[in-house]
Amino acid sequence: MKLGYRSIRVDSWRGWVHGDWAASLTGGDPLDRLLDWPHEKIHQRELSCTWRVDAPGQTLFAKYVTTSGRRGVDTGSAEERIKQFFRPSVAARALRVSRRMSGGGVRVPTTILATTLRRGLRRDDLIVSTAAEGTSLAEVFLHRSHDEATHGLFDLAGRRVAELHRTGFIHGHLLPGHLYVAADQNTVTFIDNDETYWRPAMARWPGRVWNLTQFVHRLIGHPQYPHADGLALRFLDAYFVRMGFSPASRRRWGGRVLNTARRRARKRLGRPIPAVSPAPLEKPNNATAFRAVAQADPTPAAHG
């Protein structure tokens, strides 16, 4: 038995629940029990949705992955449903990875329930975790003034992502909304870890570059583009400094990540993303990063 967790067998559900929540979530169908509390759907995509649940005394987040269309979740194509059915349990993977990340010194929310239902051709996974401390980088980017304090949060995120990669983990969805920063504690919490994976030392670099491109692509593809490019530069520079790269290597790899992210953003949005010189990556706190953005895009309103 995993320390602090109990196995559960309710109807066709099989999995693990944190001991403190066993009585609250295992008296029947765990999804029904969970959604008896006030809740709000905050995200939905093909085959999955996420709710924020106001449990007694605590806010929880529940991710539900299903091939059956239960609770109004989009079931996607037949091909995707078949793939999902034969994949290993998403819930078991999420619990295993989050515990391993926590053991490696990476901050993650506590998983309180990870369970899977299999009934005929139906396959459901339910992952419930505590709320992350701090504010997501997406909220910081959208709702805060872009001052030095905001830039410092992106510096912090870059350093913490470097530390995550140095432990061997590659985040499955490294997006601004999945990194919660707490400046007063100098911490970053990684959420949505069910697709995070570990790689041995010789196979890590491609995954690291993919993660950085994933993050930067979402930033520079946003309508608030002029601010995003400067923040992307700050994030990348903090990352490469923490990884111990030389100034020349920071410029070279920073340029590659930016160019790849720009191509992806252009393809997704159907509009050009102006090039920005990666030269400012040599100095993490140099205001030339923002001058480079202004020179490359003198009319930022055109990208709104």
Q: Are residues 166 and 292 in the same domain?
A: yes
Tens digit of pLDDT for each residue in 269-300? 777 766 554 444 444 444 433 333 333 333 33
Q: Are residues 111 and 35 in the same domain?
A: yes
Q: Are residues 141 and 114 in the same domain?
A: no
In angstroms, the CA 90 to CA 50 distance is 14
Tens digit of pLDDT for each residue in 113-126? 999 988 776 788 99
Candidate from 60-64, 70-74, 199-203 with smallest mean pLDDT = 70-74
From 66, 98, 130, the end of a domain falls on: 130
- Expressed as residue numbers, the domain containing 257 is 135-303
Token pair of 164, please?
A: 């995550």
Q: Are residues 106 and 17 in the same domain?
A: yes
Q: Are residues 116 and 141 in the same domain?
A: no
Q: Are residues 228 and 294 in the same domain?
A: yes
In angstroms, the CA 181 to CA 160 distance is 10
Task: Count structural domains, the chain.
Answer: 2
Q: Are residues 58 and 205 in the same domain?
A: no
Residue 49: give its domain's CATH number: 3.30.200.20
> What does 43-69 look like in DSSP terms, one character per residue?
EEETTEEEEEEEETTEEEEEEEEESS-
Tell me the mean pLDDT in the region 125-130.
Answer: 95
Please, what is the angle between helix 205-220 and helix 148-166, to 10°?
160
Q: Are residues 104 and 225 in the same domain?
A: no
pLDDT for residue 73 is more than 50? yes
Q: Are residues 185 and 113 in the same domain?
A: no
The structure's pTM equals 0.82
* Strand 48-55 with 58-66, pairing: antiparallel
Q: Are residues 168 and 280 in the same domain?
A: yes
From 107, 130, 153, the end of a domain falls on: 130
From 110, 130, 150, the end of a domain falls on: 130
Residue 151: give its domain's CATH number: 1.10.510.10
Q: Are residues 64 and 150 in the same domain?
A: no
